[in-house]
Structure 1
Amino acid sequence: MKKLWLIFAQTATVGLAIWFLVTLLKPAWLQQPATGAPVVTVKESRAVASAPAELSYSSAAKKAKPSVVNIFTSQQARQARNPLFNDPLFRRFFGDRGLGDEAQRPSSLGSGVLVSAEGYIVTNNHVVEAADEIEVALSDGRTASAKLIGSDPDTDIAVIKIDLPDLPAISFADADKVEIGDVVLAIGNPFGVGQTVTMGIVSALGRSELGINTFENFIQTDAAINPGNSGGALIDVRGDLLGINTAIYSKTGGSLGIGFAIPATTVKQIIEALIKDGSVTRGWLGVEVQDVTAELASSFRLPDTRGALIAGVVRNGPAANAGVRPGDVLLSIDGKVVVNSARMLDIISALKPAQMVSMTFVREGQQIEAKVEVGKRPTFNRK
């Protein structure tokens, strides 16, 4: 019995030693695939681990980047005059030399997008307003002076033009088909560091009543947009223009993931008007309005909160001449339902000046219809 136990112990010891050596030197010998199970090779594992080609947006960036330009502007300024220069005795000996009237040219920067091979560039109005000189730098290293073609402060859009050959114009996307969650890229010149591409998604659509512009219908995105990105491009994954980056919500001056872009459909309409006429003509009624709250609806005996409350009427304006008074609630214009004050502004702005349209409003519980001759909306400067 003792001899048998000794033989078993020696056999087990040798077996364990062999198993240890095989595990250390030839571990593949011990890996037997299950019946019918596929064998995963190293090459296949690498293929699985590599990122799919569709997750790269380099083709979209390469397509759109040449169309995005950097814009540098300067404005004439005067240095403050030294009080000593006002001393008659000083001026008697030194005359008018060094009176401190040398010009300073502080510069600001932003971005723009080439929208035609003829050299038309769209940017934000706040990028170029009050500028004496506008300089444009292309991604290929070329530079050129630009002239202002026209601007629209109500939407914060401006068009400038340069004269250079072989300009790469961007293609427009159908912004009406964009959906929340779509991947977008923002291209611009943040903080003057140079052309930069950031990625995000469409966070919301139709953002309005933010107090940024008079007419608001923003695409909201979390793609990083910083100072210097204003006027730059918001593009889709095909490299087509979805909007013009115009503003961010920030308490620090940097990106917090809440940026706003003017949709390409609006941009295109404004561009065409500015190139043709140098300005945008909109309809105007001469009223100040506010939304109808639940409390106001109850006090005015309205069935719901639809409509726009007339808070003020411009004297001798179109609405005043049609008999509209403060306190009236506008329900429809030209057959189009007024849902709120923003919708009313859109309806009126789309009308042509001198056009006669009907409108329906409520006064003291009574529904009234009237005709009004649409006026031309005055130009208001953005502050």
Structure 2
Amino acid sequence: MNVFSKRRSNRVIRPLLALLMAGVFGFGVSAPTLSMAAPAPLDLKVDTSPQKPLVNLPDFTPIIKKVGDTVVNISSTSTKTISQGASNPFPPSSPFHQFFQQFMAPGGPKQQKVEDLGSGFIISPNGYIVTAAHVVRGADHIMVTLTNHQAYPAKLVGLSVRYDTALLKINAKNLPTAPIGNSDKLQVGQWLLAVGAPFGFFNTVTQGVVSAVNRTLPNDDQYIPFIQTDVPINPGNSGGPLLNMSGQVVGINDQIYTSSGGYMGLSFSIPINTVMRVVHALAEHKQIQFGWLGVEVQDVTAKMGQALHLKEPVGALVASVEPNSPAAKAGLEPGDVVVTYNDKPVYEVGQLPPMVGNTQPGTRVKIGILRNGKPMTLNVTIGTLPKNANEAGPGGSSSNQSGNVARLQIQIQPLTAKAAKNLGIKHGVLVIGVGSGPAAQAGIAPGMVIQDIGQKPVDSPAQLEKIVAGLPAGEPIPVRVRNGKQSLYTVVILPPAGS
């Protein structure tokens, strides 16, 4: 018997010895008794009373019963060019060309049919349907399927890439229509529903709340004031309706923020007020016009707010004003900070472009600004966004009157009239060299044009050196520079004079 079996045997023997000793010496140890009685029958009670919720939670079924039939599934087929593998790395004249050619796939790029899925919703009984532009853009064939499984070929009435909105038309009558709401009344925390076909699962309903409004996205069009939600949407939801608790469409589901390709808690929808502005123009075959102010704006950082003598770093900092633009005619100047637009607050730079872009050209609005820390109100008549903007480089300078500004550690020279015209500016000095110092730390580089420093315009190297000599040390100083077609503000902190 091995060690393990001995130990196991001891656990059995010791209880038997205890029982024997109890019987001999009367230790009062009683042995357990076994009962062979039948088990009691299962007493199962089924609750047949009317079902009532024990807690109050949202019930979304009335909304889906009201609006569900207005949601459609959209499939579009497009032709895309597909590469057929790697190309021969050697030219035909090379002796290696023929050798590698035998390993190449036959033929060049080929055309391939690609099918995309999306969603949409009906807005009129005679077959007008709204969806996202990226669902149908470039499509050769579009099919719309209703909830009753009837399928119709759809005609693309028009689309706007800038607003990612498209209008379709199918040949049908007496269709149910989705009620259109007012996205301007949305508030953070309100319940919302999304209906669509994520990953092809038709008529899927998901729910969530408004996370933020008037949200701008990086690398996206600046004229869309997105609704941010935590409503789960995925590929295939695009173009479907975002519904409020009254069963009204308040947006169209457009995109998600993800690193995996699936939903991660951040969903973005285009407000229905923006969508319908585009839809009306498309239905009437009119050009979509965008409001135009004629300024370049940037964010107000904490250092910039201190340099501009602001109580707090809020608003949109005007970096440049285009000549003869609505902003110029109204008296807006570089260095002004826009804090209200049409009586609505502007807390950050991303809020202003959608406000302006969605304003009907010709509308007169009030713009609240801070100039040198003092509040002012300007009246601006919004113009129409030009179709094409001229891109101008900094140009060259034939002047040899260069100079050095020791406190900035830069080398500069005058700006020629031709270069100033190409850039669309009237004054400034061209940076031709930057050493290790305050200018480099502020991001100023050769090729840029310094227009203002300390909110004073610069016309010549001598003037810049004179202004810099009188500026305080150790304090943030605003500097306006021109980099190609873009003007922006940066902050420099100067060392003591003579150091």
Structure-1 residue corresponding to 2:130: 122
Instruction: For structure 2, list consecutive stretches of 5 or more residues without a partner in the other structure.
Output: 1-36, 93-105, 389-499
Structure-2 residue corresponding to 1:47: 49
Q: 2:204 aligns with which of 176, 192, 197?
A: 197
User: Do the aligned residues in 1 keep the contact of 2:211 with 2:230 (CA within 8 Å)?
Assistant: no
Distance 1:374 1:162, change over 3 A: same
Q: TM-score, normalised by structure 1?
A: 0.71
Structure-2 residue corresponding to 1:244: 252
Letter aligned with residue 113 of structure 1: F
Structure-2 residue corresponding to 1:94: none
Q: Distance in 2 between matches of 1:329 and 1:181?
A: 30
Q: Which residues in structure 2 correspond to 1:8-23 (within 5 Å)?
A: none
User: Do the aligned residues in 1 keep the contact of 2:292 with 2:383 (CA within 8 Å)?
Assistant: yes
Shift of 1:114: 0.9
Distance 1:333 1:51, change over 3 A: closer
Q: Distance in 2 between matches of 1:372 and 1:179?
A: 29
Distance 1:300 1:170, change over 3 A: same
Residue 160 (1) aligns with residue 168 (2) = yes
User: Do the aligned residues in 2 keep the contact of 1:150 with 1:279 (CA within 8 Å)?
Assistant: no
Q: 2:60 aligns with which of 43, 57, 60?
A: 57
Larger relative contact order, structure 1 or 2 (CA cutoff 8 Å, min sep 6)? 1
**Which range moved further: 104-113 or 45-54?**
45-54
Q: Distance in 2 between matches of 1:42 and 1:172?
A: 48
Q: Distance in 1 between matches of 2:342 and 2:232?
A: 41
Structure-2 residue corresponding to 1:77: 80
Distance 1:222 1:337, change over 3 A: closer
Q: Residue deviations 1:51-99, cap 9 Å, x none?
A: 5798653443243232111222233334658989x99xxxxxxxxxx97
Structure-2 residue corresponding to 1:12: none
Structure-2 residue corresponding to 1:267: 275
Q: Distance in 2 between matches of 1:236 and 1:337?
A: 25
Q: Residue deviations 1:25-56, cap 9 Å, x none?
A: 8x99xxxxxxxxxxxx956x453776579865
Structure-2 residue corresponding to 1:206: 213
User: Do the aligned residues in 1 keep the contact of 2:252 with 2:272 (CA within 8 Å)?
Assistant: yes
User: Do the aligned residues in 1 keep the contact of 2:222 with 2:350 (CA within 8 Å)?
Assistant: no
Q: Distance in 2 between matches of 1:178 and 1:335?
A: 18
Q: Distance in 1 between matches of 2:141 and 2:199?
A: 20
Residue 374 (1) aligns with residue 382 (2) = yes
Q: 1:146 aligns with which of 154, 173, 179?
A: 154
Q: TM-score, normalised by structure 2?
A: 0.56
User: Do the aligned residues in 1 keep the contact of 2:126 with 2:171 (CA within 8 Å)?
Assistant: yes
Distance 1:51 1:367, change over 3 A: closer
Q: Distance in 1 between matches of 2:385 and 2:50?
A: 61
User: Do the aligned residues in 2 keep the contact of 1:283 with 1:375 (CA within 8 Å)?
Assistant: yes
Q: Residue deviations 1:250-294, cap 9 Å, x none?
A: 211111232222333443333233323444322101222123233
Q: Distance in 1 between matches of 2:380 and 2:190?
A: 43
Larger Rg: 2
Q: 1:348 aligns with which of 348, 356, 365?
A: 356
Structure-1 residue corresponding to 2:302: 294
Q: Distance in 1 between matches of 2:340 and 2:229?
A: 33
CA RMSD, 1 decimal: 4.0
Shift of 1:227: 0.6
**Which range moved further: 332-341 or 142-151?**
332-341
Letter aligned with residue 204 of structure 2: V
Residue 186 (1) aligns with residue 189 (2) = no
Q: Distance in 2 between matches of 1:336 and 1:258?
A: 26
Instruction: For structure 1, list consecutive stretches of 5 or more residues without a partner in the other structure.
Output: 1-20, 29-40, 88-97
Q: Distance in 2 between matches of 1:182 and 1:364?
A: 39
SS in structure 2 of the partner of residue 75 of structure 1: strand
Aligned residues: 335
Structure-2 residue corresponding to 1:93: none
**Which range moved further: 118-127 or 307-316?**
307-316
SS in structure 2 of the partner of residue 76 of structure 1: strand
Distance 1:330 1:81, change over 3 A: same
User: Do the aligned residues in 1 keep the contact of 2:233 with 2:263 (CA within 8 Å)?
Assistant: yes
Letter aligned with residue 209 of structure 2: V
User: Do the aligned residues in 2 keep the contact of 1:287 with 1:314 (CA within 8 Å)?
Assistant: yes
Letter aligned with residue 143 of structure 1: A
Shift of 1:325: 4.5
